[in-house]
A = this chain, B = another copy of it.
């Protein structure tokens, strides 16, 4: 065992690939516990934090939200009958992921077709822009009370943040 008893935040950051500000953020929002501090106020972490943070990062990489992870961690912490409940969380999330894939596939198809028409466009107008202006065979909504933005995809499909 060559692991030291306490790790500084920078070491934890390196070991998990999670940046320092994010670690402090996870503490603020309650995913990581409030740690012991050194005499001068530095956070001190142990291997349990390393494991927990790894868990969090993996779950995030699988697309779980912070809230879902909070639930999962609570279940893991309780260590009683967590399996069924954890499965519910994961299954719901799986459905979300599948819905998202379906939406993105629809986007992909329209984009691909439009870009293709753009590529061999000999006319004066840009087919891409025409498509967006005139609509790709989709009419603007007629019923105002319909809750969904039925252009191509459900209303709640928003692009993920791309910095």
Residue numbers of A with Cβ under 8 A of B are 14-17, 51, 54-55, 57-65, 72, 75-76, 82-83, 86-87, 90-91, 93-94, 96-98, 100-101, 104-105, 107-108, 110-112, 114-115, 118-119, 121, 125-129, 132-133, 135-136, 138, 140-141, 144, 146, 149, 151-153, 156-163
Contact = CB atoms under 8 A, between A and B. Distances in A.
A76 B112 CA distance: 20
Contact of A104 (B17, B83, B101): B101
Contacts of A157: 61, 63, 160
Please provide the 9 A-B residue pairs with the shortest distance between their CB atoms, ordered closest to farther. Answer: A83-B126, A61-B151, A63-B159, A87-B118, A94-B111, A17-B141, A14-B144, A160-B160, A76-B129
B55 A87 contact: no
Nearest to A141: B17
Contacts of A151: 57-58, 61
B107 A62 contact: yes
Given A91-B115, A111-B93, A151-B58, A159 B121 contact: no
Contacts of A82: 126, 129
